[in-house]
Amino acid sequence: MVDKEPVQLVSQTLTIQPGLDLPQLNTKLQQADALEIIEWTAQTFGDGMVTTTSFGIQSAIMLHLVTQVVPNIPIIWVDTGYLPPATYRFAEQLISDLNLNIKVYQSIVSPARMETLYGRLWQQNDVEALNRYDQMRKVEPMQRALRELGATVWLAGLRAEQTAHRKTLPVLDQQGAYYKVHPILNWTVEDVDRYLTQHDLPYHPLKEKGYATVGDWHSSRPMTEEDEHERETRFQGMKQECGLHLPATPSEEKSLDSSSL
């Protein structure tokens, strides 16, 4: 939630080590508010901290929260090359207004080369084609960004109510070689509205056109009365996760079956 009483967090002298007690830390962090979680992350991981943004519907929240604590934090933006024009304009607005230290990463395969070799993967009505698209345009650039920026911990603005997989996440987790922190995991839609209003922050402009979530132009659409959940408007309703927030190894990912999340 947005408003909580301050709590006593764990020692500021914690260091990154294989024996980091995730259950114990999660017990403490579950009781903390978003800013306290971000402050603890900065104290614990120091220069290894990065965050990510998609410049999606509510992205201004995490960008505002994180830069209050670490103003110059590297902010990874994976640009697929297929974002709506409104997203690129929204990104420029937030980069300027919040003075963001943006690190743009893209696939090593250009859109034209990808379409020539594999066709328009998003039109093939096949989950495996969508997974190939996501791996090429999103997952590989993200993993490269984490390596090149020397990240040890990744702050992400996931919320539990967004997908079935996200309901299972703790505040502090591990994903592959990296720790992952979710400061607004337990925020509701009401919390999101309240924070944006209190801090005079904008939603993505496509919200006014009925979008509850927005990604690439070809795989996002406005919500309709028939949609039971916002993620049905992404990836032709065939999957809920693009792969960025799933385990990195094939064996781990198979257990979650990203195509059915």
Per-residue pLDDT of the chain (261 residues; tens, 9 = 90+): 333 333 333 333 333 445 578 899 999 998 899 999 999 999 999 999 999 999 999 999 999 999 999 999 999 999 999 999 999 999 999 999 999 999 999 999 999 999 999 999 999 888 888 889 999 999 999 999 999 999 999 999 988 887 777 788 899 998 888 999 999 999 998 999 999 999 999 999 999 998 888 889 988 887 766 655 665 666 666 544 454 544 554 433 443 333 322
For residue 175, the cross-strand partners are 178
Residue 16 maps to a domain: no
3-state secondary structure of 159: coil
Residue 12 maps to a domain: no
Alpha helices by DSSP H, listed for 2-126, are 22-29, 34-45, 59-69, 85-98, 111-118
Residue 108 maps to a domain: yes
Q: Is the pTM of this model over 0.75?
A: yes
What is the structure's pLDDT at 196? Answer: 96
Containing structural domain, residue 61:
22-260
What is the structure's pLDDT at 49? Answer: 96
Q: Alpha-carbon distance 144 to 107, whole Å?
A: 10
Residue 70 makes CB contacts below 8 A (sequence gap 6+) with 38, 42, 49
Count the Cβ atoms, other than its own, within 10 Å of residue 25: 19
Residue 143 maps to a domain: yes
Ranges assigned E (strand) in 42-197: 49-53, 75-78, 102-105, 153-155, 172-175, 178-181
What is the structure's pLDDT at 233? Answer: 63
Residue 241 maps to a domain: yes
What total number of domains does the chain contain? Answer: 1
Check: CB of residue 168 under 8 Å from CB of residue 161.
no
Residue 13 maps to a domain: no
Active site residue ranges: 242
What is the structure's pLDDT at 258? Answer: 36
CATH number at residue 35: 3.40.50.620
What is the structure's pLDDT at 237? Answer: 60
Residue 10 maps to a domain: no
Spell out a b/e string for 47-82, using b for 16 or more CB atoms within 10 Å of the CB, else e.
Answer: ebbbbbbbbbbbbbbbbbbbbebbeebbbbbbbbeb
Residue 239 maps to a domain: yes
What is the structure's pLDDT at 176? Answer: 81
Q: In what order do the strands lie in the sheet with 102-105?
A: 102-105, 75-78, 49-53, 153-155, 178-181, 172-175
| Amino acid at site 15 | T
